[in-house]
């Protein structure tokens, strides 16, 4: 019989092994938590060949560490503390930064507590192939575990724990280099504590620990010139980083209120919280939407915007109502106004005289804006605090005028301006030794801080993306600008794919296989897909056939992605992180590996594929008799483009089963759409254009035209909507607390006030926004017989007044808010595109569970988990849409540039197009070129007569004054030019008719 020894932990060890703390529950109750910590003496050090530790064969640190640093000729390992990862992650991630790193458990947990995005980057760092990182669980090693002392702060306790682990490593490393009799003693590598905390360094040095600051460490490295540029600005990254070194200068901005004061003010209703939105036309104005007011709070001037950056969560104080005013109807360009500003003189150590001259100029612009008359007064206020910064890495250009003449070609350290690609962002002051090299390139810059004495935020260089205007650099900068994950799929993700690779096929039916379990065999059905040209990731296919009872069977068959993407494995986690496939003009960033997206899951013709089918029995008038959902195996008979399907449907000589199926589907779709529109669905519009590329290989754009829509576009759309609505009802009935749904909230009526006023005053038309039905009816009446494109323009403008649709968890909101305003449906979800949308994958899993095919994974029973996932998916979806639009804009610009050059060679001058006026300013016009789907500004340098109430501007013409108003049709010359200083491509528009603006 095996002898069992029971050992009782001595009571004296409890102080080390037990962790006691108080925790407040969601209901406000305070509970005491006691956690047991089991200490061990076999937690490995990670150093190769250590005779004491039982080391694995891989993932170890080299025995001699790194010998390339001149300060540590015997070799060394670095042990960074928490602040290094919080402030210098760009440096640590750089491929030029290669010393072996010991990463403590204490540091990992503190980073996770302080910043979840940085924690995710830290986790990724440990898996990088070009990094040597060993995670040491110091809190579970008996010699390095510590307990918090009385009156010791958590931060001091963690610093002491880091020093304790460094001391242990320094002693332990000698065991990896034992003395050998008869040989010269081997040099022992140094364990170097890397810390930005001067007090921590001082305590470490008193204890005999080798400690150094990041800057001093990097200064001696062989790639110091490049690596020093990666260092964040010195100082803290707290929300109020006012430096004592400001020399008594008056602050340009007021200090932020303390966090406790902000929260108390918000709770009492004195202060208001919201997202800061920069004004794309006027850099001296911004706004914050808050729940207490129908209209957003207007912030006028730098002082009132108080260092906020677009997207920051801010707290505002509202001014007295007598100070409320209308937004300035004037274009104020940041680049033009600040073109003579000196980067060296714009920070804490700059000349006050230079700063004051610019402050005076900006104050004058603000005062001129205050003279704006009009009825659209809105609340005004100022920012008194920041709840959450939206700082990240931004794509920028170096402004050549900010380089000092004396150092314009040298690699001396100098301060320059980095101008972000987005016009919603302020210039960033940057200290770099590589300025001459970086001119003409797109670079990545991170904001580090914005002091109260500095006109601009300060940041640091991250990396160069390539020469501006090259497609590779533009494409990568676009993906970075909109935070699109584009890293290659890793080995762990690819290991989740079928082992057969592209040789995988649906097994024979007689075989006993999991693929055929509880699946319907629909291979004999006449099924086809209808998609845009060159579509490779075919999510959906359709069929329709006449039933003996006179009804019609219609089916939507969706790729069964959930069969291949299993819950909670690496591929599922990556898909959840990416959220959606991103479509650019000449590139697709897939949510799933291409083996699935364009092959095994894609419903290609003439091959058997696994599907999830929704099948309805419908009357000839499109009344639903019943619907059923089933896993299936299908074999599509054809893959059509919209145009090909339209041609087949319209060809009177064709009457084969496939053509009959398309015609049946189209007949039902027309009736489904008629019912939707009668229920109040909106027929909105967005500017969509088609880019003609020279060839699939060159991807050179040669022309732009509006997308042509066919009846078959609507056919597919109606059946996808029907499938999504039917699935939404099913999963909501089965899982009322965690169903993955999508809603579109009704827009606030205030959103439409300006559009209503413009339509009434300029066209005598009324827009009724009391419901989606009345809005749809009003939009149908907005017709100008002389201008067919006018109705589309109004629909585009109405679309911009809407709120964005969003995914949500059914148990998180009230049942009355489930509806989709635009579709006039009481419930909705996304089910039909699981290859490219992760929300659809979740809906598939819930639908499979609701029909009893598979049990629902535990994570989809957790409301909090579903909420977290959908928060990410919503953000990714928004960013993917913006990235797609930006890609189109870039290629439209390239096409226009090429077209302009061709027309100049032919002696025709600029590209000339008709456009609509969509906005009037005191000094210009906002115009929309419908043929190209682009917006632009026509600027006037001379004074004009501006009537904001009637949306009219009066300019002098050859035969007298010319009145131009919103909705007027004009003719513009379009030219794409590159800014000489910032290297940014810019579309310039010049008014040609009714008056030539070059004379203005």
Rounded Cα–Cα distance for residues 452 and 346 (Å) = 12
Q: Tell me which residue of 273, 282, 289, 293 sits closest to 334, measured CA to CA.
A: 282
More confident residue, 185 or 470: 470
Residue 814 is encoded by which pair of tokens? 């009230």
Q: How confident is the model at residue 245 (pLDDT cuts 50, 70, 90)?
A: very low
Rounded Cα–Cα distance for residues 100 and 64 (Å) = 10
Rounded Cα–Cα distance for residues 734 and 739 (Å) = 8
Residue 869 is encoded by which pair of tokens? 């996932």
Give the pLDDT score at 176.
67
Report CA-CA distances (Å) from 939 to 282, 985, 998: 13, 17, 9
Rounded Cα–Cα distance for residues 343 and 349 (Å) = 11
- Asked whether residue 235 carries a pLDDT value surpassing 50, the answer given is no
Write out pLDDT tens, residues 948-957. Answer: 889 999 988 8
SS3 state of residue 775: helix
Q: Output the pTM of the full model.
A: 0.85
Share of the chain above pLDDT 70, in %: 87
Q: For 770-796, what is the mean pLDDT?
A: 90
Write out pLDDT tens, residues 584-604. Answer: 888 899 999 999 999 999 999
Least confident of 180-189, 388-397, 615-624, 880-889: 180-189
Q: Helix %, strand %, coil % for the chain, to 5?
A: 35, 25, 40
- Asked whether residue 697 carries a pLDDT value surpassing 60, the answer given is no
Q: Write down the mean pLDDT value for the chain.
A: 86
- Asked whether residue 709 carries a pLDDT value surpassing 50, the answer given is yes
- Asked whether residue 353 carries a pLDDT value surpassing 50, the answer given is no
Give the pLDDT score at 627.
96
Cβ atoms of 311 and 386 closer than 8 Å: no
Cis peptide before 994 (omega within 30 of 0): yes
Give the pLDDT score at 952.
93
More confident residue, 966 or 474: 966
- Asked whether residue 762 carries a pLDDT value surpassing 50, the answer given is yes
Q: For 10-36, what is the mean pLDDT?
A: 69
Q: Sign of the CA dihedral 756, 762, 766, 767?
A: negative
What residues contact residue 401 under an 8 Å CB cut-off, 6+ apart?
A: 339, 340, 981
Strands 313-318, 297-300: pairing is unpaired
Give the pLDDT score at 577.
93
Q: How confident is the model at residue 55 (pLDDT cuts 50, 70, 90)?
A: low
Give the pLDDT score at 534.
85
- Asked whether residue 514 carries a pLDDT value surpassing 70, the answer given is yes
H-helix or E-strand containing 986?
strand 985-993
Give the pLDDT score at 128.
83
Which residues in 824-904 belong to E strands, given as ranges? none
Q: Tell me which residue of 544, 533, 798 sits closest to 672, measured CA to CA.
A: 544
Give the pLDDT score at 365.
62
SS3 state of residue 501: helix
Give the pLDDT score at 587.
86
Give the pLDDT score at 326.
86
Q: Tell me which residue of 215, 217, 214, 266 sits closest to 82, measured CA to CA.
A: 214
H-helix or E-strand containing 357?
helix 352-370
Rounded Cα–Cα distance for residues 136 and 45 (Å) = 7
- Asked whether residue 790 carries a pLDDT value surpassing 50, the answer given is yes
- Asked whether residue 983 carries a pLDDT value surpassing 70, the answer given is no
CATH of 259-366+373-482, one of 2.40.50.690, 2.30.30.90, 3.30.420.40, 3.40.109.10: 2.40.50.690
Least confident of 369-373, 546-550, 747-751, 773-777: 369-373
Strands 969-978, 960-965: pairing is unpaired
39-221 and 910-993: same fold?
no
Q: For 640-656, what is the mean pLDDT?
A: 93
Domain spanning 39-221: CATH 3.40.50.1010: yes
Helix axes 154-172, 198-206, angle to 10 degrees: 40
Q: Tell me which residue of 336, 254, 327, 333 sits closest to 285, measured CA to CA.
A: 327
Share of the chain above pLDDT 90, in %: 53
* CATH dotted code for 910-993: 2.40.50.140
Write out pLDDT tens, residues 267-286. Answer: 999 999 999 999 988 999 99
Rounded Cα–Cα distance for residues 554 and 672 (Å) = 12
Give the pLDDT score at 985.
67
Q: For 121-137, what is the mean pLDDT?
A: 89
Instruction: Find the angle CA(582)-CA(588)-CA(594) to the nearest 5 degrees.
Output: 110
More confident residue, 833 or 695: 833
Q: For 865-874, what is the mean pLDDT?
A: 95
- Asked whether residue 352 carries a pLDDT value surpassing 60, the answer given is no
Domain residue ranges of the chain, discontinuous segments joined by +: 39-221, 259-366+373-482, 491-680+689-740+824-881, 910-993
Give the pLDDT score at 472.
83
Give the pLDDT score at 409.
63
Q: How confident is the model at residue 836 (pLDDT cuts 50, 70, 90)?
A: very high
Write out pLDDT tens, residues 70-128. Answer: 999 999 999 999 999 999 999 999 989 999 999 999 999 999 988 888 898 898 898 88
Give the pLDDT score at 421.
87
Q: For 815-837, what is the mean pLDDT?
A: 95
């Amino acid at each position: 019989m095996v002898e069992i020894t029971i050992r009782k932990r001595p009571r004296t060890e409890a102080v080390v092994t037990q962790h006691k703390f108080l925790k407040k529950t969601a209901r406000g109750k305070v509970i005491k938590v006691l956690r047991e910590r089991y200490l061990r003496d076999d937690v490995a050090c990670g150093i190769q060949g250590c005779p004491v530790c039982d080391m694995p064969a891989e993932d170890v640190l080299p025995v001699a560490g790194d010998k390339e640093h001149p300060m540590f000729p015997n070799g060394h390992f670095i042990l960074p503390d928490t602040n290094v990862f919080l402030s210098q992650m760009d440096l640590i991630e750089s491929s030029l930064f290669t010393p072996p790193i010991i990463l403590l458990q204490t540091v990992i947990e503190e980073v996770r507590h302080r910043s979840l995005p940085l924690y995710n980057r830290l986790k990724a760092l440990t898996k990088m192939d070009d990094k040597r990182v060993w995670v040491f669980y110091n809190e579970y090693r008996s010699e390095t575990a510590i307990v918090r002392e009385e009156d010791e702060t958590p931060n001091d306790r963690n610093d002491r724990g880091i020093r304790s682990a460094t001391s242990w490593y320094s002693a332990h490393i000698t065991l990896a280099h034992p003395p050998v009799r008869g040989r010269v003693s081997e040099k022992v590598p140094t364990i170097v504590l890397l810390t930005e905390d001067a007090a921590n360094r001082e305590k470490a040095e008193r204890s005999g620990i080798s400690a150094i600051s990041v800057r001093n460490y990097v200064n001696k490295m062989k790639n110091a010139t490049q690596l020093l540029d990666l260092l964040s600005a010195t100082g803290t990254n707290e929300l109020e980083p006012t430096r004592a070194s400001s020399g008594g200068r008056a602050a340009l901005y007021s200090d932020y209120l303390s966090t406790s004061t902000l929260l108390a003010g918000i709770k009492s209703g004195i202060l208001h919280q919201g997202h800061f939105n920069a004004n794309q036309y006027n850099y001296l104005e911004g706004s914050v939407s808050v729940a207490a007011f129908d209209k957003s709070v207007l912030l006028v001037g730098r002082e009132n915007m108080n260092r906020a950056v677009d997207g920051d969560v801010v707290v505002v104080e509202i001014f007295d109502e007598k100070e409320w005013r209308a937004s300035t109807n004037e274009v104020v360009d940041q680049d033009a106004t600040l073109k003579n500003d000196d980067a060296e003189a714009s920070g804490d150590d700059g000349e006050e005289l230079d700063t004051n001259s610019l402050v005076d100029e900006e104050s004058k612009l603000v005062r001129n804006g205050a003279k704006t008359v009009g009825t659209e007064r809105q609340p005004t206020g100022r920012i008194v605090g920041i709840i959450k910064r939206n700082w990240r890495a931004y794509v920028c250009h170096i402004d050549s005028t900010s380089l000092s003449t004396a150092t314009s070609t040298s690699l001396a350290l100098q301060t320059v301006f980095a101008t972000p690609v987005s016009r919603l962002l302020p210039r960033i002051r940057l200290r770099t030794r590589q300025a001459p090299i970086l001119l003409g390139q797109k670079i990545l810059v991170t904001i580090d801080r914005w002091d109260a004495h500095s006109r601009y935020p300060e940041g640091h260089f991250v990396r160069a993306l390539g020469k501006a205007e090259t497609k590779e650099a533009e494409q990568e900068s676009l993906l970075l600008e909109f935070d699109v994950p584009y890293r290659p799929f890793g080995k762990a993700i690819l290991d989740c794919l079928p082992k057969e690779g592209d040789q995988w096929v649906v097994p024979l039916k007689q075989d006993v296989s999991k693929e055929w379990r509880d699946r319907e065999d629909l291979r004999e059905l006449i099924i086809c897909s209808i998609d845009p040209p060159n579509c490779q990731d075919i999510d959906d296919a359709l069929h329709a056939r006449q039933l003996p009872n006179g009804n019609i069977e219609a089916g939507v068959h969706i790729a069964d992605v959930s069969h291949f993407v299993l819950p909670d494995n690496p591929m599922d986690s990556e898909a959840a992180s990416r959220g959606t496939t991103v479509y650019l003009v000449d590139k697709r960033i897939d949510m799933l590996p291409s083996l699935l997206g364009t092959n095994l899951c894609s419903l290609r013709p003439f091959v058997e594929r696994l599907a999830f089918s929704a099948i309805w029995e419908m009357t000839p008038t499109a009344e639903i008799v019943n619907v059923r959902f089933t896993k299936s195996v299908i074999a599509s008979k054809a893959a059509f483009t919209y145009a090909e399907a339209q041609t087949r449907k319209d060809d009177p000589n064709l009457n084969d089963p496939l053509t009959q199926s398309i015609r049946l589907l189209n007949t039902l779709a027309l009736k489904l759409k008629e019912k939707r529109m009668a229920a109040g669905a909106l027929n909105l519009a967005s500017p969509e254009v088609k880019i003609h590329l020279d060839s699939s290989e060159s991807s050179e754009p040669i022309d732009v035209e509006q997308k042509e829509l066919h009846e078959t576009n609507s056919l597919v759309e109606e059946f996808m909507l029907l499938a999504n609505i039917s699935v939404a009802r099913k999963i909501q009935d089965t899982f009322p607390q965690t169903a993955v749904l999508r809603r579109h909230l009704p827009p606030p009526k205030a959103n439409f006030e300006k559009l209503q006023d413009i339509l009434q005053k300029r066209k005598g038309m009324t827009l009724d926004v009391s419901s989606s039905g009345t809005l749809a009816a009003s939009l149908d009446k907005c017709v100008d017989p002389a201008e067919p494109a006018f109705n589309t323009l109004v629909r585009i403008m109405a679309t911009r007044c809407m709120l964005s649709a969003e995914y949500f968890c059914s148990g998180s909101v009230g049942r009355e808010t489930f509806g989709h305003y635009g579709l006039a449906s009481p419930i909705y979800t996304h089910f039909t595109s699981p290859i490219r949308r992760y929300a659809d994958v979740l809906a598939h899993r819930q639908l499979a569970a609701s029909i009893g095919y598979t049990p629902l994974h535990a994570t989809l029973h957790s409301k909090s988990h579903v909420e977290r996932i959908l928060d990410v998916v919503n953000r990714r979806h928004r960013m993917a849409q913006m990235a797609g639009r930006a890609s189109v804009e870039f290629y439209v610009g390239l096409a226009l540039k090429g077209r302009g050059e061709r027309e100049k060679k032919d002696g025709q001058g600029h590209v000339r197009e008709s456009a609509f006026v969509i906005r009037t300013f005191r000094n210009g016009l906002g115009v929309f070129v419908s043929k190209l789907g682009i917006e632009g500004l026509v600027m006037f340098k001379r004074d004009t007569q501006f009537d904001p109430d009637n949306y009219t501007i009066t300019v002098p013409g050859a035969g007298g004054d010319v009145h131009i108003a919103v909705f007027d049709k004009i003719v513009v010359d379009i030219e794409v030019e590159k800014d000489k200083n910032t290297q940014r491509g810019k579309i310039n528009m010049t008014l040609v008719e009714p008056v030539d603006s070059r004379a203005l």
